[in-house]
Amino acid sequence: MESDRLRNFLRFPLGRRERSGWCLRRQLSLLLLASCVLLAPAAALARRHRALAGQINAILHATSARRGFWGIEVVRLSDGKVLYARNADRLFEPASTMKLFTTAAALTKLGPDFIIRTTVECPSLPDSEGRVPDLILVGRGDPNLGSRVLPYHLKTEFRSPADADFEELADQVVKKGVREVTGDIIADDSYYADQPYGPNWAIDDMVWGYGAPITALAFNDNSLTLRVQPGSAVGSCAQIALEPVAGYYRIKDEVKTTSDDVPAKVEVARAPGSMDLDVWGHVPLGSREIKEDVAIENPPRLIGEMFRRLLEQRGVKVDGRVTVREQSPAAMAADVGASPEPEARYVLAEHDSLPLRQDIKVTLKVSQNLHAEMLLRTMARKVSGQGSLQAGVKILAGFARELNIPPDQVCFAGGSGLSRDTLVSPNALIKLLEFMARSGDFKDFLDALPVAGVDGTLADRFENTSAKGRIHAKTGSMEHVNTLAGYMDPPGGGRLAFVIMSNSHPLHSAAAIGVVDRLAVAIYRQFAGGRPAR
């Protein structure tokens, strides 16, 4: 009986009903297998997310960093998949990662080939005796008139003389036949509204180069280098010098030379608007030179005086004085839309900046606050006709809307991040990074970012990790604030955008930077597939 059933089965394997059930079971099996195949990456991603969350918690709880407020987001650029998020929609002080917004907006609105022109103008051409009534030195926001060597490559290099661009302008004026200025040298700073400082800058920021005043006519990052060297013997006064303009400030030197076993300590102070620079403290007899960048009070006036001196060195007589032309924010706002008769002027000399892509590289690699603030106002002047902070902030807010960033995730108060009124969420920065990765200007944007262990503000970071050379990111540091945002490139491809933000932590700067870097390496190792960090 059993053998008959077997023969019948072999002759007629499945009946219609049996065959239908078998096909259904086969389809279900295939569907289950396909589901497992499709769900496997998701499951693996979930495991990586849990593993990374554990690593991040361990890193934060290993120090008092845990007492701060941390925001992190990581996104895979190929499909926009969020790989990790922590407080991603909360607001943070971004510090200098704010410069990502300013430079990205400028690249988008002005283009990487945008040129800034500085000119020397006058109301009339020289007469038969080479006389002109006034010379007007017109600034339009070129931040690179000074000692920095451009294009920037790996590190900041300096040239001498620092006033070479203004020497070139003076030479052009002489070649046009000018022999005497019967009126004034006018340093025209009216391309921007007269707003030299941003909202909520700390008063002591304004002493230093990183808090230099914002002007359309600028020189040497609107800062001077203070050099302090020990004196010839213990107890003697230290040697103090300012470069590249030696006598601009009255220096009160109260720095004493001490024995070699006393650590160096130099303090600098200057009241707002004052031309007196107080320097005190002590330096050991055998110590190396101490250098600090201090802000220039009223840069257009310094530039006007410097230009007058350059003209006189070339035999041009100047009968008048140096004056500074400014425009108040209210007056600039009132001028928009008006059509006054333009003042007739003749251009006697001009200097063109390098393309914008080169200044953006300086702004991001070096984290140059002045350049970012000037760029914000230049962009505002070109786009809206007003070179003011308010117009620049309005453009940034509009740019954020174009990127579909919710308005409650950004609060702009300047272009550099120096103002503590500026607030940005990690997700807002991620959306910016995603937008730029799709932009035709991405190469210029990426090339301008510091590279881990290679250049800029990341030159000395990530050196002994697998992330060296594979992270392009903007740093940000203020007291109790540390941030890092940019891109990671795994060895096998699949670029990531990431943001790490920390506010209100109690760590000293070096310790906080160490925590940020350990977090970045943990992210790199977990999702980028690189070799383990050494």
- List Cβ<8 Å contacts ≥24 apart for 56-62: 56/84, 56/86, 56/519, 56/522, 59/515, 59/518, 59/519, 59/522, 60/515
**Least confident window among 30-34, 49-53, 111-115, 387-391:** 30-34
Both 171 and 311 in one domain: the answer is yes
Give the structural domain span for 156.
115-202+298-354
Both 378 and 347 in one domain: the answer is no
Closest CA to 375 of 148, 116, 158, 96: 116
For 138-164, the DSSP string reads: E--S-TT-SSB-SS-BSB--B-S-TTH
Whole-angstrom distance, CA of residue 314 vs CA of residue 180: 11
pLDDT of 131-179, one tens digit each? 999 999 999 999 999 999 999 999 999 999 999 999 999 999 999 999 9
Whole-angstrom distance, CA of residue 401 vs CA of residue 397: 6
pLDDT at 511 over 50: yes
Average pLDDT for 23-32: 65
Both 501 and 454 in one domain: the answer is yes
**What does the block give as tokens for 348?**
């006697």
Both 344 and 229 in one domain: the answer is no
Last residue of a domain, one of 295, 321, 339: 295
Whole-angstrom distance, CA of residue 92 vs CA of residue 234: 48
Average pLDDT for 238-256: 94
pLDDT of res. 9:
43
Both 68 and 57 in one domain: the answer is yes
Query: Phi first, then psi: what are they for 234, rounded to 5°?
Result: -60, 130
Confidence of residue 527 (pLDDT cuts 50, 70, 90): confident
pLDDT at 458 over 90: yes
Judge whether 177 and 314 are in contact, CB under 8 Å: no
Both 508 and 415 in one domain: the answer is yes
- CATH number for the domain that contains residue 189: 3.50.80.20
How many percent of the chain have pLDDT more than 90?
82
Whole-angstrom distance, CA of residue 155 vs CA of residue 9: 83
Cross-strand partners of 483:
476, 501
For 222-288, the DSSP string reads: GEEEEEEE--SSTTSBPEEEEESSTTSSEEEEEEEEE-TTS--EEEEE--TT--EEEEEEEEETTPP
Average pLDDT for 17-38: 60
Q: Which residues of 439-458 are buried (b: 16+ CB within 10 A; e: fewer)?
A: eebeebbbebbbbbbbbbbb
pLDDT of res. 490:
85
Q: Is residue 248 one of the residues assigned to a domain?
A: yes
For 422-435, the DSSP string reads: -EE-HHHHHHHHHH
For 404-424, the DSSP string reads: T--GGGEE---SSS-STT-EE
**What does the block give as tokens for 85?**
């998020």
pLDDT of res. 333:
83
pLDDT at 30 over 80: no
pLDDT at 24 over 70: no
Q: Is residue 314 one of the residues assigned to a domain?
A: yes
Whole-angstrom distance, CA of residue 472 vs CA of residue 7: 72
Average pLDDT for 73-77: 96
Closest CA to 443 of 361, 384, 365: 361
Residue 79, CA distances (Å) to 44, 76, 89, 320, 461 in order: 17, 6, 20, 65, 29
Last residue of a domain, one of 295, 319, 341: 295
DSSP state of 504: S
Closest CA to 68 of 76, 60, 56, 78: 60
pLDDT of res. 320:
97
Judge whether 249 and 273 are in contact, CB under 8 Å: no
Both 373 and 249 in one domain: the answer is no
Q: Is residue 456 one of the residues assigned to a domain?
A: yes
DSSP state of 182: S
**What does the block give as tokens for 385?**
């006709």
Q: Is residue 119 one of the residues assigned to a domain?
A: yes
Average pLDDT for 214-226: 97
pLDDT of 302-315, one tens digit each? 999 999 999 999 99
Both 288 and 374 in one domain: the answer is no
Quote the mean pLDDT of the chain.
91
pLDDT of res. 10:
45
Last residue of a domain, one of 259, 279, 295: 295
Confidence of residue 64 (pLDDT cuts 50, 70, 90): very high
Q: How many domains does the chain have?
A: 3
- Tell me which H or E stretch contains 45: helix 16-61
Q: Is residue 26 one of the residues assigned to a domain?
A: no
Both 419 and 511 in one domain: the answer is yes
**What does the block give as tokens for 354?**
């390098």
How many percent of the chain have pLDDT more than 70?
89
Both 494 and 521 in one domain: the answer is yes
Both 370 and 255 in one domain: the answer is no
Whole-angstrom distance, CA of residue 136 vs CA of residue 119: 8
Both 375 and 500 in one domain: the answer is yes
Q: Is residue 272 one of the residues assigned to a domain?
A: yes
pLDDT at 341 over 70: no
Q: Is residue 209 one of the residues assigned to a domain?
A: no
pLDDT of res. 31:
62
pLDDT at 474 over 90: yes
Average pLDDT for 192-208: 93
- CATH number for the domain that contains residue 57: 3.40.710.10
pLDDT of res. 524:
94
pLDDT of res. 404:
97
pLDDT at 512 over 80: yes
Average pLDDT for 335-352: 76
pLDDT of res. 332:
87
> CB under 8 Å to 278, separation ≥6 — which residues?
252, 254, 268, 269, 270
DSSP state of 514: H
Q: Three-class SS of residue 351?
A: strand
Q: Is residue 11 one of the residues assigned to a domain?
A: no
